[in-house]
C-alpha cells in the first residue's frame, strides 16, 4: 500500500507538479468511503456546503460538496487521515501539513462537461510560505471509481507549476489558460492523461495546470479531493466559502480546529 511515497514519486512530483500513487486505500476502506459519500450527498448539507445545484451550469461540470468531513464521521476519517497528510508532507517537504478543505467531486452522467484547464491556487485565500514551488499547497484526488477518458479522469501539464500564479478560470465559461501562459515552455508540454483504478490517487500542486474529461458513462464518477497547505500558510482575507466568517485574521497563519494540523 502506498502509505509512504517512494523517492521516485517524490522527485516526480517536485519536477512535474503532480504524481500518481496507487492503492492508497484498501478494498474495505474503499467500500466504507463510497458508502459514506453516498450518505453525505443524499442529505441536505448541515456544516458542509453544496456549491452546485442540479439546475446550475456548474453542476454539469461538478456536483460538489465542500467540507463533507463536517457532516459525516466517516468522511472525516478520510479527509483528516494522517496517511494522506503524511504523503502530502513528504511531497512538499513541509514541517507540518494543515487541512484547507475536502470536497466530494462527482461528475454526473448526462450532459456532463469537462472540468476546464485551470490552476487551483488563484481561488484560495492563501499567501504561501517562501520556498521552492513544489513546497506549496496541494490536493489529493482520490478516485472512488476506476477513471479514464470516458468518465472524467484527469490530465496534467508536466512542469506547469513552474509558470507562476495566473488568473482564476471560470469553470462554466472558461477562458483559455494557455493564452495567459504564452511564451512559457512549460505550457507547451504535452498533457499527461492519468487513468487510475479506484483506490488510487494523484497529488497535484496548486499551480499545476489540470483538466478532467466529461463523463460519458451512465454512472457518476466519484472522487474525494482534499486540499492541504503547509503549516505557516497565511490567510489573505480574500473571500472564500470555506473561510468567510470563520474568525480568521487576514495576514495571520491559518490555525484552529477548522484548519487542523494533520501531519
Ligand atoms: O474532478 C474534477 O473534475 C476536477 C478536480 C480539480 O480540478 C481539482 O481537484 O483541483
Measured between its terminal Cα atoms, the distance across the chain in Å is 19
Does residue 29 register a pLDDT over 60?
A: yes
- Ligand 1 center–CA 249 separation, angstroms: 28
Q: Is 120 in the pocket of ligand 1 (CB under 6 A)?
A: yes
Confidence band of 233 (pLDDT split at 50, 70, 90): very high
| Mean pLDDT on 206-234 | 98
Q: Is 105 in the pocket of ligand 1 (CB under 6 A)?
A: yes
Cα 202 from Cα 17, distance rounded (Å): 10
Q: Given the CA of residue 114, which atom of ligand 1 is nearest to it? A: 3
The per-residue pLDDT of the chain, averaged, comes to 97
Mention every residue, 6+ apart, whose C-beta is less than 8 A from residue 183: none
Does residue 39 register a pLDDT over 70?
A: yes
- Ligand 1 center–CA 212 separation, angstroms: 7
Nearest CA to ligand 1 atom 2: 212
Percent of the chain with pLDDT over 70: 99
- Ligand 1 center–CA 26 separation, angstroms: 23
Q: Given the CA of residue 210, which atom of ligand 1 is nearest to it? A: 7
Does residue 178 register a pLDDT over 70?
A: yes
Q: Which CATH architecture has domain 7-235?
A: Sandwich (2.60)
Q: Given the CA of residue 204, which atom of ligand 1 is nearest to it? A: 10
Hey, what's the cell of 111?
450532459
CB 120 within 8 A of CB 167: no
The residue written with cell numbers 519536477 in the block is 15
The helices-and-strands tally (H runs, E runs) of the chain is 6, 13
Cα 140 from Cα 24, distance rounded (Å): 11
Confidence band of 3 (pLDDT split at 50, 70, 90): confident
Does residue 203 register a pLDDT over 80?
A: yes
- Ligand 1 center–CA 256 separation, angstroms: 26
- Measured in degrees and rounded to the nearest 5, phi and psi for residue 134 equal -75, -10
Which residue among 61, 145, 154, 207 has the greatest number of ligand 1 atoms within 8 angstroms of its CB, and so is best to mutate?
Answer: 154
Hey, what's the cell of 253?
497563519
pLDDT at 2: 47
pLDDT in tens, 125-154: 999 989 999 999 999 999 999 999 999 999
Q: Given the CA of residue 62, which atom of ligand 1 is nearest to it? A: 3
**Collapsed DSSP state (helix, strand, coil) of residue 133:** helix
Percent of the chain with pLDDT over 90: 98
Which residue among 79, 141, 145, 228 has the greatest number of ligand 1 atoms within 8 angstroms of its CB, and so is best to mutate?
Answer: 141
Report DSSP state, residue 181: T
Amino acid at each position: 500500500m502506498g502509505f509512504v511515497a517512494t523517492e521516485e514519486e517524490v522527485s516526480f512530483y517536485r519536477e512535474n507538479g503532480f504524481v500518481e500513487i496507487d492503492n492508497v486505500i484498501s478494498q474495505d476502506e474503499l467500500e466504507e468511503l463510497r458508502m459514506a459519500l453516498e450518505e453525505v450527498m443524499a442529505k441536505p448539507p448541515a456544516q458542509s456546503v453544496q456549491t452546485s445545484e442540479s439546475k446550475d451550469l456548474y453542476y454539469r461540470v461538478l456536483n460538489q460538496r465542500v467540507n463533507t468531513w463536517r457532516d459525516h464521521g466517516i468522511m472525516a476519517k478520510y479527509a483528516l487521515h494522517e496517511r494522506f497528510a503524511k504523503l502530502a508532507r513528504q511531497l512538499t517537504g513541509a514541517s507540518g501539513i494543515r487541512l484547507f478543505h475536502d470536497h466530494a467531486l462527482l461528475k454526473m452522467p448526462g450532459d456532463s462537461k469537462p472540468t476546464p484547464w485551470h490552476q487551483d491556487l488563484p481561488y484560495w485565500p492563501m499567501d504561501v510560505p517562501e520556498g521552492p514551488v513544489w513546497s506549496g499547497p496541494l490536493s489529493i484526488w482520490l478516485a472512488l471509481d476506476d477513471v479514464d477518458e470516458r468518465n472524467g479522469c484527469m490530465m496534467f501539464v508536466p512542469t506547469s507549476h513552474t509558470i507562476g500564479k495566473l488568473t482564476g478560470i471560470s469553470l462554466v465559461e472558461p477562458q483559455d489558460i494557455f493564452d495567459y501562459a504564452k511564451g512559457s515552455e512549460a505550457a507547451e508540454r504535452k498533457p499527461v492523461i492519468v487513468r487510475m483504478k479506484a483506490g488510487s490517487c494523484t497529488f497535484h500542486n496548486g499551480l499545476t495546470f489540470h483538466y478532467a474529461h466529461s463523463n460519458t458513462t451512465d454512472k457518476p464518477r466519484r472522487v474525494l479531493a482534499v486540499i492541504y497547505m503547509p503549516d505557516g500558510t497565511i490567510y489573505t482575507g480574500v473571500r472564500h466559502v470555506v473561510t468567510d466568517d470563520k474568525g480568521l485574521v487576514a495576514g495571520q497563519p491559518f490555525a484552529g480546529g477548522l484548519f487542523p494540523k494533520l501531519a
